[in-house]
A and B are shown apart, each in its own frame.
Chain A
Amino acid sequence: MAKVLSNKSLADNIYFLKVSFKETINVKPGQFFNLKVCRDESYDPLLRRPLSVFDFDLDNNEVSFIYEIKGRGTRALSNYIKGDFLDIHGPLGNGFTVDFNNKKLILAGGGMGIAPLYFLAKYIGVNNDLTLCLGAANKGVLKPLVDYFANIVVELKLSTDDGSFGSQGTISCLLNNSSLGKEVEYDYLFGCGPKPMLEWLQSWMREEGISGEFSLEERMACGNGLCLSCSCKTTDGNKRLCKEGPVLPADEVIINGL
């Protein structure tokens, strides 16, 4: 059980949720939690909803999330208020690789795929040189997310589909455009976002010879490796995104493989 400390709207349909756990927990960037959104003895919505950790405060056992209202489950979640208790499983999944030192790293996030990159950037930003490429549909979605990143010193490159904030276009324009600097050799890329974005990133990374990893999404019934609803095809066989993932080596993932 976790106690809701805050659950507030950041923009249209985008919420920030902060909870505190009584027990001591340890969370890695890229891990996720599975939240039960129905109350007490209700069975509807039946399944838990997976959300990536947006931020983690080790000293106070506090975890934050940023989520978009998509359907019944996230809408139900948005009705929780400060002081309520939430039945939350986690941390779950493997999380990002974080043992980098003095490396030039790209963090590429699209839409709600930006959420897991904040804790990652905080975590690895101290010892590494980060370039963040963040894209979303419009300013309304991107601005509130980007505001958090202003607290940590990183290079930010922004794009929106409608051009209302940053460059107009998808993440691809940020990475392709000369401002990224061909003279800079990047060591590794972290990507999280919609499938078309990851597909594009995968081929771009192959062209540029950059290795990296993706945080992936699939519908999950259990989050504990029991049901195989979250299988993702890879060059190394099927992987359960809730157990062996959600972060997988970019080169191994076969996007839309199943």
Chain B
Amino acid sequence: MVYNVGLKTSLGPLKLESPVMTASGTCGFGRELADFYELKELGGLIVKGITVDPRDGNPTPRIAETAAGLINSIGLENPGIDGFIKEELPFLKTVNTKVLVNISGHSLNDFKKLAAVLAENEGIDGIEVNVSCPNIKGGGLAFGTDPELVFKITDLVRKEYNGFVMVKLTPNVRDIIPVAKSAAEGGADALAVANTLPGMKIDIESRIPVLATGSGGLSGPAIKPVTLRLVYEIVKNDILPVLGLGGIMTADDAIEYLLAGARAVGVGTATLIDPYAPIRIKSGIAKYLKNNSFDHLQEIIGLAHKKGANL
């Protein structure tokens, strides 16, 4: 459907044809979604988290369902950076949308190595740095909870990689502003806000947690109010352009993020339930703009800050 409204947007230097991207870990490496629609319909594709070495992932069950939410502990099953370059990159080079590669590490050196290898290869449009993974040396605490480490990781990645760098923040912090500022100081171009929240589900028959690993990351409608508020707060502090994500199921949800000041949005869990969700959300945004007499998406970004809010 054509709505004759402008949907172009940008995350700093990264220009997007439309504002809806698919979130890491919920769109594989793009092949499966390409069976449903042309990937150029998407603002961009953020592929599954890549680590230095291949990983088999966690034991199963890897998912548990909770009220309007999904808890996952996939454990970063992926072919490793070399496998990615060999098996997935050739396909990604052929897709006509922005491709961001999500990288995960368990040490500072992992991030440096991943960025260095990606810098040597053409065909991707940027890196999304996942700082939510546990820091093995730091006793397993997520890197993303420590502003100092977030600075170091961003700085290392920035020095290795000239292209677009977006840092994906964990919502699991007392105050997100210092972390967001550290990413900016480290040289990030944008922030993805946010990753999953830690959660648990217990099976009352077996009386043990459902997930084999005990707990995992909560996503879906259940987390939207939390991540939406974080986006609002970061935008208010005018740190870096923000990709808003967490629980977006409909165009209305996405519009809330845009009103909160996100320049683009990510859709994760919704794509798992309906592969067409990102497309549906994109046309729903266009329809909203048209119905409310806006000519361009940019006109609504950040409007919810007019009235202000106590945070």
**A residues in contact with B175, CB < 8 Å:** none
Question: Nearest A residue to B56 by beta-carbon distance?
Answer: A238
B290 within 8 A of A: no
CB pair A231 B77 closer than 8 Å: yes
Given the known A-B contacts A43-B68, A46-B220, are A229 and B275 also in contact in the complex, defined by CB atoms under 8 Å?
Answer: no
Secondary structure of the B contact surface, majority rule = loop
A233 within 8 A of B: yes
CB pair B65 A258 closer than 8 Å: no
Q: Which of A1-9, A100-108, A214-222 contacts B (4 or more CB under 8 A)?
A: A214-222
Question: Nearest B residue to A233 by beta-carbon distance?
Answer: B56
Per-position binary interface string of chain A over residues 226-258, scored 1 when its CB falls under 8 Å from any chain B CB and 0 otherwise: 111111110000100001000000000000001
**A residues in contact with B59, CB < 8 Å:** 258
**B residues in contact with A45, CB < 8 Å:** 65
B74 within 8 A of A: yes
Task: Quote the shortest CB–CB distance from B26 to chain A (angstroms).
Answer: 6
- Cβ contact of A221, chosen from B27, B32, B63, B77, cutoff 8 A: B63
Secondary structure of the A contact surface, majority rule = loop
B273 within 8 A of A: yes
Central interface residue in B25, B27, B62, B250, by most chain A CB within 10 Å: B62
Q: Which of A125-153 touch B at CB < 8 Å? A: none
Given the known A-B contacts A258-B57, A258-B58, A258-B59, are A226 and B271 also in contact in the complex, defined by CB atoms under 8 Å?
Answer: yes
A61 within 8 A of B: no
Q: How far is the CA of A73 from the CA of B26 in the complex (A)?
A: 22
CB pair A222 B272 closer than 8 Å: yes
Central interface residue in B56, B271, B272, by most chain A CB within 10 Å: B272
Q: How far is the CA of A230 from the CA of B59 in the complex (A)?
A: 10
B12 within 8 A of A: no
Central interface residue in B64, B65, B271, B275, by most chain A CB within 10 Å: B65
Q: How far is the CA of A144 from the CA of B256 in the complex (A)?
A: 51
Given the known A-B contacts A48-B273, A258-B58, are A225 and B28 also in contact in the complex, defined by CB atoms under 8 Å?
Answer: yes
Per-position binary interface string of chain A over residues 37-74, scored 1 when its CB falls under 8 Å from any chain B CB and 0 otherwise: 00001011111100000000000000000000000010
Question: Nearest A residue to B58 by beta-carbon distance?
Answer: A258
**A residues in contact with B220, CB < 8 Å:** 43, 46
Given the known A-B contacts A43-B249, A47-B70, A219-B63, are A228 and B77 also in contact in the complex, defined by CB atoms under 8 Å?
Answer: yes
Question: Nearest A residue to B211 by beta-carbon distance?
Answer: A219
Chain B contributes a number of interface residues (CB within 8 A of A) equal to 34
Given the known A-B contacts A225-B32, A226-B33, A227-B25, are A44 and B72 also in contact in the complex, defined by CB atoms under 8 Å?
Answer: no
Task: Quote the shortest CB–CB distance from A44 to chain B (angstroms).
Answer: 5
**B residues in contact with A18, CB < 8 Å:** none
Q: Which of B274-302 touch A at CB < 8 Å? A: 275
CB pair B221 A46 closer than 8 Å: yes
Per-position binary interface string of chain B over residues 35-73, scored 1 when its CB falls under 8 Å from any chain A CB and 0 otherwise: 000000000000010000000111111111101111010
CB pair A226 B58 closer than 8 Å: no
A211 within 8 A of B: no
**B residues in contact with A228, CB < 8 Å:** 25, 48, 57, 62, 74, 77
Question: Nearest A residue to B73 by beta-carbon distance?
Answer: A229
**B residues in contact with A97, CB < 8 Å:** none
CB pair A44 B68 closer than 8 Å: yes
B130 within 8 A of A: no
CB pair A222 B273 closer than 8 Å: yes
Q: How far is the CA of A224 from the CA of B30 in the complex (A)?
A: 12
**B residues in contact with A28, CB < 8 Å:** none
Question: Nearest B residue to A73 by beta-carbon distance?
Answer: B65
Q: Which of A143-182 touch B at CB < 8 Å? A: none
B269 within 8 A of A: yes
Question: Nearest A residue to B66 by beta-carbon distance?
Answer: A46
**B residues in contact with A225, CB < 8 Å:** 28, 32
**B residues in contact with A243, CB < 8 Å:** 32
CB pair B57 A226 closer than 8 Å: no
CB pair A224 B32 closer than 8 Å: yes
Per-position binary interface string of chain B over residues 238-280, scored 1 when its CB falls under 8 Å from any chain A CB and 0 otherwise: 0000000000011000000000000000000101110100000
Q: How far is the CA of A91 from the CA of B269 in the complex (A)?
A: 21
**A residues in contact with B28, CB < 8 Å:** 225-227
CB pair A231 B62 closer than 8 Å: yes
CB pair A221 B70 closer than 8 Å: yes
Q: How far is the CA of A231 from the CA of B62 in the complex (A)?
A: 9
CB pair A46 B69 closer than 8 Å: yes
CB pair A226 B26 closer than 8 Å: yes
CB pair B63 A43 closer than 8 Å: no
CB pair B65 A47 closer than 8 Å: yes
Task: Quote the shortest CB–CB distance from B248 to chain A (angstroms).
Answer: 12
Q: How far is the CA of A219 from the CA of B74 in the complex (A)?
A: 12
**B residues in contact with A229, CB < 8 Å:** 60, 62-63, 72, 74
Q: How far is the CA of A73 from the CA of B66 in the complex (A)?
A: 11
Q: Which 8 A-B pairs have the closest CB atoms?
A: A222-B272, A43-B68, A229-B63, A225-B32, A43-B221, A229-B62, A221-B272, A228-B77
Supply 6 A–B pairs (Cβ within 8 Å), ascending by A. Answer: A44-B68, A46-B269, A227-B272, A228-B48, A232-B60, A258-B212
**Interface, chain B (partner A; CB < 8 A):** 25-28, 32-33, 48, 56-65, 67-70, 72, 74, 77, 212, 220-221, 249-250, 269, 271-273, 275
* New A-B contacts (4) at CB < 8 Å, excluding given A36-B273, A47-B273, A227-B272: A44-B67, A47-B63, A47-B65, A222-B275
